Amino acid sequence: MTSVDLPTSAVEADDGLASSIDGSLRASLKRSEQIEADLEVHPERYRMLTGDRPTGKLHLGHYFGSLANRVRLQNLGLDSWVLIADYQVIYDRDGVGDLKANVFSAIADYLAVGIDPQRSTIFAHSAIAPLNQLLLPFLSLVTDSELRRNPTVKDELANSDRPMSGLMLTFPVHQAADILFCKANVVPVGKDQLPHLELTRLIARRFDERYGRAEKDRPIFPFADALLSSAPNILGLDGNKMSKSRGNVIELGMTAQQTAKLIKKAKTDSDRHITFDPQNRPEVSNLLMLAGLATGEDPVQIAEEIGDGGGGGLKKLVTEALNEHLAPIRERRAELVADQGYLVEVLRDGNAKADEVATQTLSEVRKAMQMDY
């Protein structure tokens, strides 16, 4: 993997935290468009880092929102790294639930949707000691006030009825370590996650300024850019935000019968004439969007085809479209779940590769800090 031009390093980048929100967003959108155009021509220039917290089973929001895009980028030829952020499960809760089952369920989902362990490195955060060791020097580069300005941290401070843990406060630095340990230079994110990436760039720049370089001709850490997602905002089946805790999701591992049962209970409205109107008919439009994502058709055209078929006709079409789309994924997933040994092998291989890369990065960091005794 080689660096990307414009710019190639965090040192050449502007301090994102000093920019206005609007200006930063416009710059990120423009940069994302440039990368999207270039990666189809020069995928070898890019290393992508993405991942999930294993708090439960993956669902349609994950699939249409990020998993399908990961497969697309992998198939374009990007060096893809998929993080299972198990340490991040404990930053805001006392228990972790059935963590091991959730981890291997996620791996089965990854492989079933098309993530290829020969082309994508799947690894668990907690298994990579040198990655986590990077937290110590990184924490020296940020202030308490900078951490508290992070939207995720601010939200926790404002809405939680319990004291914030030190792990929660330093969560943005954990994300920076996840990105920088493998020297990822593109990170698929939504607009709301840009502040996390801005802090990552800030840490990379400050490390270079304060501690120097292992090699004089280049910074240790490349400039990490956002690949902004164009995925639609999918609501849960009750019309609220899609959330595992609300029970309003369709999990990838569910059967066709379970899917049909859930869609039958989905919220619509009293107007029998089906139209795609996200602002005035969000629940109906959400179901139309799911059908469109599953079939590749325009939700407006789907609505016109249903016409006066009402909520029943809409739900029938959505059920058939989703079950048909998910059938091969579910078949492959069932095979994978039945072969636990293979899932363990995939994770161990990914952990070994990630550990090797993290060890090399940590060695460069220690050399730059004059701690390579």
Beta bridge partners of 222: 9
The pTM assigned to this predicted structure is 0.90
For residue 26, what are the CA distances in angstroms to 5, 243, 296, 349? 19, 29, 29, 39
The CA-CA-CA angle for residues 57, 61, 64, to 5°, reads 120
pLDDT of 229 above 60: yes
pLDDT at 191 over 90: no
The 10 Å Cβ neighbour count of residue 327 is 11
Q: Which of the listed CATH numbers 1.10.3720.10, 3.40.50.300, 1.10.240.10, 1.10.1040.10 matches domain 244-337?
A: 1.10.240.10
* Averaged pLDDT, 94-108: 90
Residue 231, pLDDT above cutoff 80? no
The per-residue pLDDT of the chain, averaged, comes to 90
Q: What is the pLDDT of residue 70?
A: 96
Higher pLDDT: 174 or 97? It is: 174
The verdict on whether omega for the bond into residue 172 sits within 30 degrees of 0, i.e. cis, is no
Superfamily of domain 10-231: HUPs (3.40.50.620)
Strand, coil or helix: 52: strand
The total number of residues written for the chain in this structure:
373
Q: Sorting pLDDT into bands at 50, 70 and 90, what band is 21?
A: low
Separation of alpha carbons 103 and 47, rounded Å: 23
Domain boundaries, the chain: 10-231, 244-337
Calpha distance 339→343 (Å, rounded): 7
Helix spans in 170-238 (H): 171-180, 194-211
Fill in the DSSP letter of residue 277.
-
